[in-house]
Structures are given as structure tokens and as C-alpha cells.
Chains A and B, each alone.
Chain A
């Protein structure tokens, strides 16, 4: 494949790999797991890391290369909340709704985030910056109510603080602080 074809074909000049090139990477990777029982979740995990989410086209590639029916692949994808069939934002916000966080106001955080981002739980903002999710306990009960953005955990979050937390995620995509 020529260098040009592997580049993103949109006008953004970001230099990212094209969808075709990503799919080809997933195909090559999945092929190595053919015939190895119990590798479906692992392959899906890697495919989602490469592609960002798991649309039908990617699921078909995994199914074909592992020699599994598409219905089985899709069954696993739709079973685990970690897998997404929708494009995901650059950052994933997970609000904890485990018992401790729930009683200390986790639900209010979800409500406020839905307002601020104009999305529902499970969805991604129009600018693909944030995906909003809820989690059933992230193991930070002492810090309730807690939420995480990517790998950073925020403790004792109050709805009023959310705007300033979100503002930390600038155009470069990383957390500033």
C-alpha cells in the first residue's frame, strides 16, 4: 500500500491512518488468533484500541479472521459495556454510580454533565471530544462521589466544579494540570 493510501483521506491533514489501513491492521492482528479458543474478547479489545470503536465492518473482520459467526461476535460486543459500536470521543468520562457514589450525589453529576455536554449517557459529543458513560463502582468509594476522565480519577465531585474540570481538556487533547 502506498504511503498516501494509508493516510487519512479527509481534508484535515492530521496524518492519521485511513480507515482502510486501520482495518487492515486489525485483520492482520486477528488472523494470528484464528483457532485459539477464548481469544475473542482479547481481539475485540485490541481492535477497539486501534479503531476507537467496533462498528459492523470491524466486527465482520474479527468474525472472518477468527472463523466465528458474526452473531457471536456481536453478542459479545453488545454484552460488555466496555465495547462500543458507536464512535467514541477523545476522552471518556465515567461517572461512578456504585452504591456509595450514588447516595452521595452521583446522579446529579450525570444530570449536570448531560446538560453541559448535550448528550445522553452512552453517547459522544458532536465534536467527538467526550463520551459520557456511567460505571458501577470504580473502587473509589472513600472518595465518593467519584468520576474518571480517561485514567484520571476526580474525587468528591460537585456539580458546580464540572465546568472547570471539563475546561482542563484543551485542544491538544491531554489534561493540562
Chain B
């Protein structure tokens, strides 16, 4: 421990802490802007400056390490005056159109001004570069950028994609893809992690609220909506509910109040995914174990950011991907076929909306592959944040809504579907079903949780041995299936380098594009609270544990769907509606053969 004096108070801090961290450990708040735990590298904004006795200049407390015996003043008149000046300089070339900005009242720059007591903008002059770049998922407005470089760090160090970086110099500096290319023409995965960390309105999701309101107003169209698992673990945060509050029932109620004609649950499609993907895995294992040429390891395909990334970074390895569409596009395809037929609707009148924790899904629904017989699977994707804005605009008191249920017949789900929203969840759900279908008994893990793959570590692995299998799965007898799980594209690259080299020891790999999985997706509420990912993860595991049915194949409505309509998993109808193909893009979209 280090001993130091902050504002006249004797403090102790952990070795290696910065001054900012040391102060926080002792309950002393230093105003800051660019600092973000785990995503901090540069110290560009200088707002967190403090006085350190014996040092001539003010020090950026986020960058300077605390040392034994330091005497620090975080709140002297000099410090306060300098912070204010720094802030005024920061906003001197900021548009200041806060009242009509998407980040109004959720903007860190705005909040800082209030905190510092800034009541005037004395400095005005030339404005910085203004480029607006609208991609299917992400909208960039460089005029609102304060060059904090949080997005550069998440894109380059956390995800290791490097789609954006600082370009040019000095006043002309702009955070952008190479040579001012639009984001959509780069190897950007559209994961939206940059949007999550942006403190201002410079990076936002590309709006889908307007088309959804239009669809709701249009009497000729039927507005059908579905909600992803991770949304229920986070939406409440936008309405002041504690992080980790499960809002499943309130979400169903809010969507009914907003006037959607049918409110379905992507969880149902997650159960469906397990049946399709699990069957595909068994088919591949059977082929590989009996001398066939099936490609292993199989890679999960539910995360569209991950899909876009592998198409750019490993275009020759696409055979490893499961051919299953992501759950929400499966749902879209089912609503416009099975459901439309069941209730006698014209599928062309259906406007299918997905509420997702994800920005990449906005891009995904525009992929040419995501349609059946010329009908788009999904017509619009709202992020969790966007749904919150709609609920607020409709004047719905979300926090006090009574619980309601999702609509039949695409609203019932098992606990296995809930954990799709967290890293390791898809793998666990698949193992629960595959093991039981092949061995005739439950997966031998306590509480059905495959503990080695639970948690937020970068790469996790587990092994499951199939013993005393049912006669029709004799090929699996004694086989130990090795599985790996990762979240973030950096983790994906680690596992993919072995896959590419042909040395991967695994049979099945789950990849989620965002660190922690969908609970931390690029479309989720921006939460700066310590441990928010753990709390959201806990919410989904609780959601799973409180359900009677916890294995996808036990979902009675899903069983009925196969009986009535699909036939059997990976059958003809499934392939027509629920499976897809991939495009080898290459790093520069040069379309690799």
C-alpha cells in the first residue's frame, strides 16, 4: 500500500494506482472526461488535472502514478480555474446544439459542464472538421467529437479490429477509418463498442425509431416485435432501476402499450437455434468421427458482428461457421411464413421489428442473405437504448408497469434461451440439449451450469465426455467433446489463428462479438457503474434458474412448431427458412475467393 495525502487527508492506495484511482479508492472524486476504466490509454482531455506539491505543472491524475508520500490537491482554486478553462476550450469548437442532440441529458460532456459549474462559453472560433458518415449500424458526426480516443482504444486494443484511428494532425485531427473512407467500406464489424464508450453524440446508432413509429401508425401494416434475451437484463437502467433488474414482464407490457400487434420473444428463436445448431453439430461430429469430411471445429453464428469480422479477417475459414441464422432473423423468417400462414395473414403486410442489444444487427438485416422468397426476414432493428427512447416518448411509466407475458405461439421459452445473452450461454444451452438427446439423461453439471465456461474471462474451455449413449448415437460413445468460448473479437482472433493453422483442438467454439456477450452489446444502455456486466450476467442466469423448463428441446411450443410445420431440425423447411450462407469479404472488402 502507498501512503499519500490528498486534500490534507492521509490516504492509502494500492501500489500501481494512478492519482485518480487512488483518490477514488479513498472516496475523493476528481472530475474527469476521457477516463474510462479498462478503456483508458491516452489522457487527452486533461480535465482531471490536480496539483502535486513539488511538481511545477498541474498533472493529469488519470495518467500519473501515485507515489509514496505525494501531497495532492484536487480542489484548489488553481485546479478549479484550469479545469474550467480546459472545458471552455473543449467546447469552443463543439456545436452546442444540445437541445436537439441524441445525447441530450445523457452526454458526459454536458454533465461535466454542469459539474464544473460552467455557465458561459467565452471562447469561440473556427470549428473542427465536420463529416457525417451514416453506415447501416453506426452514425459518425465528427463535429461532436472531442478526440478523447476512447473509441480508438476499444476498437484497437479491446476488439483489435482497428477500423478507426486518429487521422491528420492538430486542429485537423479526426477519428476516422483510413483516408476518410466511410465506415461501411472498411473491415468494421459494426459491433458498436465505440458507440457504447463515446461520451458525446459523435458516435450513435443509426436511427430506426422513425420507421418503427411509422409502422405503428400504418393501419395497413402489422407491426410485429421481438425482444432479445440481453435486453431484459439492461433496459431498466434507462428508467432508474438498479443495474441487473430483470424487466421481462415490464418489457412485454410496454410493447403492448406502445401498440405493437404481436409481441414475441427472441428467446423462442434461441431455443429453436439450439435444436438446429445442436443437430448440425451432431451431424458434423458423426461425419468427422466416421471418416467423413465434415469441417470442425464448428463455430457459432448468432453474433452478426462476429460474422462480419470472420468474413473480413478469416475469409477462407467460413466453412467452420454453423449455417444457422441468428435467432432474431430465424424469428423474422418464421413470423412471415409459419405464423402468417397460421393466422391467415399476408406476409407482405408484416413489418418485423427486433429489439436488440446490438448495433451489428442493424447491418445484418440488410445483408442480401437475410431474406426468404424475396421477403426480408426483419425490417427494422431497435437497440435497447432506442426502445427506451420510444417508451419515454410515449409517456409510459416503465418502472411501475405490471408484468405481462409475450404472445403465443412464439413467446414461450426455456431458461436455456435466456443465457444466450451472456458469454458461454449458447454453449451451455447447446450442451444441455445435445448431451440429453444423445445420452438420454441430464448434462452432468450441477444446476446444469457448465461452470468452466461461466464468467467474463477472455477465453474459456470445457470438456464433456459422452458415455453410455443411446444406440442411434453409438458414434459418440467415449468421445470427449472439447469446447471453447470467447467474447470480443480479440478473443475470436486468438482462437481463429489455431483454426486457420489447422491446429485447433476444439470441436465446437462459441464466439460473441462483444466483451462479455450481448449483455455488453453495442446497443445496450451506457453504464459506467463498476461491475455492471457481472450484474447483467447474474440477471440472465437468475432468469434461467427461475424457469421450470431449462432445456431448449423441452419447449412445448417449439415441439409443436416442428410437428406442425418444420418437420425435423435441419430438415428441408429449416434449411429454406433458418439457415444461411456467408460472404468471404477480406480485410478491404476485396471479396476473396
Mark A residues whose CB is within 8 Å of B.
56, 59-60, 64, 68-75, 78-81, 85
Contact = CB atoms under 8 A, between A and B. Distances in A.
A71 B588 contact: no
Nearest to A80: B169
B587 A71 contact: no
Contacts of B167: 71, 74-75, 78-79
Nearest to B174: A78
B165 interface: yes
A66 to B, nearest CB: 12
Contact of B162 (A64, A72, A78, A79): A72
B588 A69 contact: no
Given A59-B179, A71-B163, 11 more contacts: A56-B178, A64-B587, A69-B156, A69-B163, A69-B165, A70-B588, A71-B162, A71-B186, A75-B166, A78-B167, A85-B179
B225 interface: no
B168 A79 contact: yes
Contact of B179 (A68, A69, A74): A74
Contacts of A85: 179
Contacts of A70: 162, 177-178, 186, 587-588
B165 A79 contact: no
Given A78-B168, A78-B169, A73 B178 contact: yes
Contacts of A68: 162
Interface string B170-182: 0000001111000
A171 to B, nearest CB: 34
Interface in B319-346: none
Q: Which of the listed residues A56, A64, A72 has the most CB atoms from chain B within 10 Å of its own CB?
A: A72
A69 to B, nearest CB: 3
A56 B179 CA distance: 8
A85 B180 CA distance: 13
B102 to A, nearest CB: 25
Interface string B142-180: 000000000000001000011111111100000011110
A60 B588 contact: yes
B166 to A, nearest CB: 5
B135 to A, nearest CB: 15
Contact of A72 (B165, B176, B588): B165
Contacts of B164: 71
A75 B165 contact: yes
Q: Which of the listed residues B165, B166, B167, B187 has the most CB atoms from chain A within 10 Å of its own CB?
A: B165
Contacts of A60: 588
5 contacts: A71-B178, A72-B165, A74-B165, A75-B167, A78-B179
Interface residues of B, number: 18
B167 to A, nearest CB: 5
B179 to A, nearest CB: 5
A64 B178 CA distance: 14
A41 to B, nearest CB: 14
Q: Which of the listed residues A56, A64, A71 has the most CB atoms from chain B within 10 Å of its own CB?
A: A71
Contacts of B166: 75, 79
Contacts of A78: 167-169, 179
B484 to A, nearest CB: 23
Interface in B168-209: 168-169, 176-179, 186-187
A68 B186 CA distance: 14
A73 B166 CA distance: 10
A30 to B, nearest CB: 15
B171 to A, nearest CB: 13
Contacts of A75: 165-167, 178
Contacts of A80: 169
Given A56-B178, A74-B179, A69 B161 contact: yes
Contact of B156 (A59, A72, A79): A72
A68 B163 CA distance: 11
Contacts of B179: 56, 59, 74, 78, 85
A51 B178 CA distance: 19
B169 A79 contact: yes
A96 to B, nearest CB: 19
A68 to B, nearest CB: 7
Contacts of B587: 64, 70
B158 to A, nearest CB: 13
A28 B166 CA distance: 28
B162 A69 contact: yes
Nearest 8 interchain pairs by C-beta: A69-B162, A74-B178, A71-B165, A75-B165, A70-B178, A71-B178, A78-B168, A79-B169
B318 to A, nearest CB: 20
B66 to A, nearest CB: 28
Contacts of B168: 78-79
Contacts of A64: 587
Contacts of B169: 78-81
A85 B178 CA distance: 12
Contacts of B178: 56, 59, 70-71, 73-75
Q: Which of the listed residues B156, B162, B177 has the most CB atoms from chain A within 10 Å of its own CB?
A: B162
A71 B183 CA distance: 11
A90 B167 CA distance: 27
Contacts of B156: 69, 72
Contacts of A81: 169
A84 to B, nearest CB: 13
Contacts of B186: 70-71
Q: Which of the listed residues A64, A68, A79, A81 has the most CB atoms from chain B within 10 Å of its own CB?
A: A79
A56 B163 CA distance: 15
Contacts of A72: 156, 162, 165
A72 B166 CA distance: 8
Contacts of B176: 71
B544 to A, nearest CB: 38
A72 to B, nearest CB: 5
A79 B163 CA distance: 17
B175 to A, nearest CB: 9
A64 B176 CA distance: 19
B553 to A, nearest CB: 43
A70 B180 CA distance: 11
Nearest to A70: B178
A19 to B, nearest CB: 18
Nearest to B160: A69
B492 to A, nearest CB: 16
A41 B162 CA distance: 18
A85 B187 CA distance: 21
A133 B187 CA distance: 34
A4 to B, nearest CB: 27
B151 to A, nearest CB: 11
A83 to B, nearest CB: 11
